Structures are given as structure tokens and as C-alpha cells.
Structure 1
Amino acid sequence: MKQFYGKKVVVTGAAGGIGRLMALAFAGRGCDVIVTDLNQEGAEKVAAEIRAVGRQAWAYRLDISRVEDIQVFRSRIRKEIGRIDALVNNAGVVYGGVFEMVPIEKHLMTYAVNAAGLVAMTHAFFADLLESPESHILNIASASGFVGLPFGATYASSKWAVIGFSESIRLELQERGFDHVGVTTVCPGYIATGMFDGVRTPKLLPFLEPDKIVAKIMDGVEKNHPYVKEPFMVKSVDLLKGALPQKLWDKAAQALGITSSMMHWKGHGR
């Protein structure tokens, strides 16, 4: 998406973390931003920050795990604000721990937000994006979408789903001739936002600074890159995994600390 000025952007999970930073980054490039989050008060604060830099902003409470809430939200936006030009699917949850000791409700909530909610948001606003002269879908996945993640099985697998959905919808748009709709999938390692407190980062995969990854994301959107993978090791992990025999890859992942990284997770879920 080369032109940002005056475009309307929906950002989910935007009350804090990289969601907030992305909302501010889009505003900094001249966009008007629809800030959504379960935390209404936090969303209002981010919207106020955006207005302070001279752009329009609106704050809405939204639970993307509820499809009916998404449908109502889309109708409100269309009526109160109009067509959007970009959708940032950032909202996500993470729960770590020994699989059977994590309540099943948390496992299922992980899928409801990270995968089903993302698909439902994209489906709800797809007509807007097709109508816009130039639009973009930005999906926040994870480096764990390329590898197995013990002690974070449903988190990793939900992000596998995001990568598969993003790749499929990007190619479908191309096949249908909708070249004006860009799709970028973000696959970062662990980000220092508090969600991953207690994690022992794998070798060669240090914690990412939120402002730096957001700068990479915005560059990816502007240049319509299909993927943003950070740090450097993530760029080759899927190739390395595919090239090595399974047993050798398993040993490599163990040696790098990938398989034990979530063992001591104590961050917050949402």
C-alpha cells in the first residue's frame, strides 16, 4: 500500500503493545484509525493520542472471539465512518504451560481469537477492501507458525493457521485479479511486550524491540511484502526445517532452545 494519507484503518488489539504502536504508525503516515480492543478505556487513550497528532480516530470495544459482535461492529463502522481501506489483524492471546494442565477453555480461546477471530474479521471487511482503490490486509502471525512449540501447542498451531490462511487468501486475490489488495503476514520471534514474560529466548532469536519490529512492519506494508520475518534467523527457519531430516531438525530445535523456550512462560494471556 503505497498511499497512506486519508485512508481508514481498523486495528484490533490496539490498546497496548505493538497494536498501539501500529495504530500510531499508521496515523503518523496520515491514516485515520479505528482503534479496537477488549479494553475500552485503553482504546480511548490510544485514539486520543492519534487525535493529538492531527488525525481522526475512533475507539470501540470489540471481542473478536464472538462472530456476532464482529458483524455488528462492521455494520456500525460502515454506517458511522464508511468504508475502510486497511485491516490490521493484531489481536491475539497466548497461554503457555504443560498441555493438560492448561484449562481446555484457554486452549479453545486461543483458536477462537488467534485463528477464527482473524478469519471472521477479514470476512466481515472483505467487501470494503475489494471496493477500495488500494487496500491492505496485515495479519500478525508468529515465528512459531513455522515450528512446533512445546508448552505452547495451541498458540503455535493457531499461528500456523494464520500463515496458511494469509498465504491462501493472498493467492486467491491474485487469481481473481484483485491486485490492488495487498496481504502481508508478520512472523516475528518473541516481542518484549509482557505477553512473553518468563520465556527463555532461543539462541539466535533474541527478544525483539516493539518499535523496531513495527518499523519493519510498516515498511513491509508500504512495499507490499508477502512476509515480514524477524529476527534474521526466522527468515531461514522454514527452509532449514524442510531441508533437514525430522530427527535432525528435532535435535537442532532442542539445541537452539526452541523446544524449551515456553517452559517457564508467565506472561499475560491477552
Structure 2
Amino acid sequence: MSYYQGKRVLITGAGSGLGALMAEQLGRRGAEVIVTARRRKPAEDVCRRVQAAGGRGHALLLDVGDLDAIPAFRDEVHSRVGPVDILINNAGVVFGGEFEQVDLAQHLNTLQINTLGLIAMSHAFMGDLRDATQGHLVNIASASAYVGLPWGSTYAASKWAVLGFSESLRLELRERGIDNVAVTTVCPSYISTGMFDGVRSPLLSPMLTPDKVVKSILRGVKRGEAMVSEPAIVKSIDLIKGALPLRLWDEVARRSGLSTSMKHWQGK
């Protein structure tokens, strides 16, 4: 029997890209998937893909940037579907460009969705996860949670915050003796979902396919891993950065293309 068989999984931002593929693959593994998106048609389309793959699907509208609406959304989930076993905080946005040339509203919206919405969803559904036999919180961060990202400063900031929040909560749950809730943080490099069109992938970090990342996520959650990082070099960033003097690290980042990877971003 699949690890996901019969588990109820809620995925934010599942109307396209990584979230949609995760929903479909979870349906293939026998999960009951709550597909959320800001627009009804994408959510319903993905829901049908979940059902065609053999899972049970539910399409619900959700804008994680609307923090005040999240408690009512939780109540809707409970009344229409029931409590969840796994929450995957996948919804996210990215904007690239010279810092002061990007509208302030876009910077703030990045933090609102990527960080505050994720925290609000985790808070709203933590009771579900604690009541589950095997609860699991999955937060999609980024490899940029480890490094500075010129031309993407607010995106990096939002993901640094997600990593810090996830690691802190994971340790808190352990210290409180809450052993039935796991926390997995996902830190992938650039993924070819359209969000990062125009970026130039750094050396040793090729553009990832959504399929590869989804397989890594589902495998890592099944194993209860605290961190899922793709590609392998991401796991070494902290070690390399910590071992080098700052000026030398800056030069490594520049020569590897990391510091200029977002310069020509044209994503959606």
C-alpha cells in the first residue's frame, strides 16, 4: 500500500506548475487531495486530473495572501471535506528586477504570499496535523534561502524566512514532545515551471524539471526527511559559504553565475 493511500492532503497554489503536478502524483498514490487556487477553473481542471489518476479530489478557492480569509477557509475545508493529514504550502510568487525599479507593492506582495500566507496556513491547520495519526507540514522554500539573490532580493528574503520558520517549528514540536507531526522544508534551485523564464542557471545547478522535484518531495515526505534539496550542490552551500572569507564567497557567487542568475528574469 502507498504511504499516501487514504491520506487527506491540502495543497496551496495547486492550479498550475509544481502544485498541480504534486496533486496529480498524490492522486496516483491514492491520496485525497484538496486542490486550491485563486481561480476556479484551474482548480477544477487539476481536480479532474487527480480523479483520473485514481485519487479523490476537491477544488476550493483560496488566496493565501488574504490572511483574514484563512480561518474561514479552514472552516470550509472542515465542513466540506474534513481535517487534513498533510498540508503542503506551495503557493508562491516571484518578481525580478533592480530593487528600486520594482514596484513596492510587488515586494510586499511577495512577502505576503510567500511568507505570511504560509505562516497563517500553518497556524490555521496545525490543530488538524496534531490530531492526525501522522501529520505532516511541507513548506516549499528555495535554494535562495541560503544565499543572497541579486535582482530577486525580496524573493530570497521571503524564502530565508520560510526556512527559519520551518526549522524553528520543527525543533519546537520535537521539544514539546509532539512526535506525530513532521516538518519538511523543500529547497530547490530554479524549476522550469515558467516562473523563472529568462534566468541563467548557475554553474552546477541546471534548471530542474517539475517531475524531478515532485519525486524528491514525495520521497522525502514519505521518509520523514527534514530537508529536501535539489540539486545535490544545494546541500553544500552552507558548508562552502561558511568555510570561505566573505570576499572570496562573493567572487565564487559571481563567477558561478549565482549573483547574476536573476538579471534577465522574464518569468510569469
TM-score, with structure 1 as normaliser: 0.97
Q: Which amino acid aligns with 2:249?
A: W
Q: Deviations over 1:188-243 (max 9, x none)?
A: 00001100000011111110011011101111000011111111111101111111
Q: Which amino acid aligns with 1:235?
A: K
- Name the % identity: 52
Query: How do 1:92-241 and structure 2 match up within 5 A?
Result: 92-241=92-241
SS at match of 2:185: strand
How far 1:250 moved relative to its partner? 0.6
Q: In the aligned structure 1, how far is the partner of 2:40 from the partner of 2:159?
A: 26
Q: Deviations over 1:17-66 (max 9, x none)?
A: 11011111211211100000112210100001111233221111111011
Q: Deviations over 1:154-191 (max 9, x none)?
A: 00010000000000010011011111111111100000
Q: In the aligned structure 1, how far is the partner of 2:184 from the partner of 2:139?
A: 6
Structure 1: unaligned runs, 5 residues or longer: none
Matched, 1:31 2:31: yes
Structure 2: unaligned runs, 5 residues or longer: none
Q: In the aligned structure 2, how far is the partner of 1:3 from the partner of 1:182?
A: 14
Q: In the aligned structure 2, how far is the partner of 1:8 from the partner of 1:160?
A: 28
The count of residues paired between Structure 1 and Structure 2 equals 267
Q: In the aligned structure 1, how far is the partner of 2:259 from the partner of 2:77?
A: 42
Q: In the alignment, what sits opposite 1:18?
A: 18
Q: In the aligned structure 2, how far is the partner of 1:17 from the partner of 1:227?
A: 21
Q: In the aligned structure 1, how far is the partner of 2:61 from the partner of 2:80?
A: 15
Runs of 4+ in 1 over 4 A off after TM superposition: none
Q: Would you say the 8 A contact 2:9–2:86 is kept in 1?
A: yes
Query: How do 1:39-54 and structure 2 match up within 5 A?
Result: 39-54=39-54
How far 1:3 moved relative to its partner? 3.3
Q: In the alignment, what sits opposite 1:70?
A: 70
TM-score, with structure 2 as normaliser: 0.98
Higher relative contact order (CA 8 A, sep 6+): 1
SS at match of 1:70: helix
SS at match of 1:123: helix
Q: Which amino acid aligns with 1:118?
A: L
Q: In the alignment, what sits opposite 2:242?
A: 242
Q: Would you say the 8 A contact 2:26–2:50 is kept in 1?
A: no
How far 1:115 moved relative to its partner? 0.3
Q: Which amino acid aligns with 2:124?
A: A
Q: Would you say the 8 A contact 2:184–2:225 is kept in 1?
A: yes
Q: Which amino acid aligns with 2:119?
A: V
Deviates more, 1:157-166 or 1:237-246: 237-246
Q: Which amino acid aligns with 2:202?
A: P
Q: Would you say the 8 A contact 2:8–2:34 is kept in 1?
A: yes
Q: Which amino acid aligns with 1:125?
A: F
How far 1:257 moved relative to its partner? 0.5
Q: In the aligned structure 2, how far is the partner of 1:54 from the partner of 1:246?
A: 51
